[in-house]
Amino acid sequence: MKFLSNLFKKKIGSVDDILIYPEGKRYYRDAHPIRKNMIDEDAVKIIHRLHKFGYKAYIVGGGVRDLLLERKPKDFDVVTNATPNQIKKIFNNCRIIGRRFKIVHILFRGKVIEVSTFRSLPEHRFGKHDEEQDYLIKRDNKFGTPQEDAARRDFTINALYYDIRNDSIVDYVGGYDDIRNRQLRVIGNPEISFREDPVRMLRAVKFAVLLGLKIDKGTSKSIKKNVSELEKASSSRMLEEYNKIFRTWKTSLIFQGMAQNHLLDVLFKEAFEKEKKRDADFGEKFLQTRVGKRLAIADKLLSEREELTPQIFYALIFSDIVQDAILKKGGHLVASLKSAMEPIFQRLGTPKKDKERLIKVFASQDRFYHTEDEKASQNNFFRKKDFFYDAFYVFKINAIADNNDKALQCAFFWEISVRKRPVLPSGKKEGKPSRNHRRDGIDFKGRPRRERNRKSQGGSSEDKLAENSDRNYEEGQSDSSQNDDV
């Protein structure tokens, strides 16, 4: 039966069979609001220089998408037919990064502009869809045409090119209409797309929530069918996506979307096992679950300019598992916590330093109930612990979510303690931004950023370079950077 099914499936003959507009449909100034003066001036300089040397170059991805959605772009990426080595010969202030797909980071004062080469379509896109074939892309350093590059991107809304020469938008995949219709749609066959890169399923839900889009039926159906493919995704890329979600101020809504599309059957599955047993379709009531309530409170705190680290979010997700482990097992507390959490840490690929920090956070929760004045010296010692900030916010959020009066009173007692940060383990002075200092409230070194003076500090070119180069050297360049992100 499966043989007959594969036999009659459509075979793609060329890239034109995937594209809606093979020649590229252009939308000129009268059809859209984007103008060259809205584009980062350094990105414009890069494009002009590439044109000068005879190469094609466009603004691509999230920058174009966000301007059409009347949002402020996070950054602007450039795509060109120049190869990374050719780009490096033109620009002195750049470096080639990535392993899965090589891209170029061009450094300017205060920022980094990402320049990528048009990618080609994988060969399997031109064959019949085979349920048994492994389509996971592990290497992706083949260059192609603008049409191929558009066809192999993730979603239509991320595959629009902006031509600064005449303020026109070039659309090969119908992304312009999808933005106008507020629709999120995969390019080509979603069955193949999600198996090429399973992380796209998580990104689909994230984009839908953050951009106010509706996932089209074919895409949503394919997500639910291929959710098990997420187990093949690299842990480093998944952790990267989680950390991005945690700083959106909409983590609870994104997790609700993940539950509705069955992604939590694989992602963080241990934390939602009981909920799923009670109600297989608990996604519609996700915000009423204990985890949903905690994440909603965390989002609210972020919106009020509190600073929450990724470790706080992980602790909120797994708090129920930890409580069960403490109640079920006797003996040493830390040993019980490690026994309960280690299989989860192994599956998620949690870094060792984060594992140790989370165990300390969990083990110290009961300590917040001890507020006696006669133990002032012990309390001061506890306040100086490097994990105190994370542990306090986990305790406070749990107290609010559970409406626990005693815990809320204790949280109030300790509240003043978080106004001063402890001395950092590395010996750095308090308040001095680290290399990974972020404006979004989360420090990737695992430390919170204090912003009590409310003075905005812009990131340096080293910030983005460090973030992206670390990511790319670990796993290789992902679609998230090629297609931009929110």
CB 126 within 8 A of CB 12: yes
**34, amino acid identity:** I
CA dist., res. 115 & res. 96, Å (int): 10
With a CB cutoff of 8 Å and minimum separation 6, the contacts of 409 are none
Determine how many CB atoms are found less than 10 A away from the CB of residue 218.
13
C-alpha dist (Å) from residue 29 to 34, 79, 167, 178: 7, 21, 6, 19
C-alpha dist (Å) from residue 299 to 195, 295, 316, 362, 396: 31, 6, 12, 21, 14
Place of tokens 């174009």: 64
CA atoms within 13 A on the CB side of 414: 29
Dihedral pair phi/psi, residue 428, rounded to 5°:
-70, 150
- Through-space distance between the first and last CA atoms of the chain, rounded to whole angstroms: 43
List, by residue number, the catalytic residues: 75, 77, 154
**402, amino acid identity:** D
CA atoms within 13 A on the CB side of 177: 9
**435, amino acid identity:** R
CA atoms within 13 A on the CB side of 166: 8
> 106 in helix, strand or coil?
strand
Exposed/middle/buried for residue 195 (C-beta within 10 Å: 0-12, 13-18, 19+): buried
For helices 388-402 and 405-415, give the axis angle rounded to 10 degrees.
150
The token pair that represents 331 in the structure block: 């003996």
Secondary structure (DSSP) of 226-255 = SGGGGGGS-HHHHHHHHHHHHTSS-HHHHH
* CA-based nearest residue to 143, from 194, 199, 85: 85
Dihedral pair phi/psi, residue 23, rounded to 5°:
-90, -10
